[in-house]
Structure 1
């Protein structure tokens, strides 16, 4: 699947580009790969919600797949300082929510750990 196809699905699900996200690297990741994020997306409902679902894409160039990493966090719009200090950071809940959202969309195959092939 191409990056623009994944981004179209994210837009369909109500996500928007996240222009203020830090650039992320997978050097800390449990996946055995390095790399810089391909894009950062966020979902909030409504715009001034207290929490947001943040999604970051990483291109696995060697096999054509993408890692889709997601987490819940406090919104940087409503809680900039708490957001910066990672208060309310919930990677497990974010991964589960993103998986639930992708199940209802024609984007296959993907697995429970956020790999889209």
Structure 2
């Protein structure tokens, strides 16, 4: 229930947050961990079992193609640990999950620094997330930046075509 509420209200809350500040909502290439050949629900179950917590207050993140995140998870040494590993999941299809990650200040302990996006460690976070996956035997592929750009371009084209088809259906109804 909380997830559905977050999905429904999240984009509105993010627009409101942008009027107050400028939260980063796009993932960066340096945050790319890899693509896991599992449905997102399976990966989320592994994250939960491995000590990660679902983060309902995270700003929605988007790929360069504009796809919105399907999951946001954090790992902390404790509730008020100094930093947190933030993992953002995208499900491009039913049996694959793209994983991005960064290391940042824990918003529970350092809300101002977190909101200002101080000292975000993108490469360190993605490397830490890879080590976490490796330690649990969760296999993943790492596409090159050029291949990811191509995939994002294809996603944009598919989205535009889908929007046009939807518009045509609405105009004929």
Aligned equivalent of 2:117, options 86, 90, 99 = 86
The gaps in structure 1 that reach 5 residues or longer are 28-32
Unpaired runs of 5+ in structure 2?
1-37, 144-173
Counterpart secondary structure, 1:58: strand
- CA-based RMSD: 1.8
Distance 1:47 1:88 in 2: 19
> What residue is the counterpart of 1:51 in the other structure?
83
The Cα of 1:112 is off from its aligned counterpart by: 4.7
* Structure with more relative contact order (C-alpha pairs < 8 Å, separation 6 or more): 2
Question: 2:151: which partner in 1?
Answer: none
TM-score by length of 2: 0.58
Superposition misfits of 4+ residues, deviation over 6 angstroms: none
Paired residues, what number? 107
SS of the residue corresponding to residue 141 of structure 2 reads coil
User: Is the CA contact 2:105–2:113 (under 8 Å) kept in the aligned structure 1?
Assistant: yes
**Structure number with higher helix proportion:** 2
- Structure-1-length-normalised TM-score: 0.84
Distance in 2, Cα, partners of 1:96 & 1:111? 14
Q: Tell whether 2:40 aligns with 1:3.
A: yes
1:76 Cα deviation after fit? 0.5
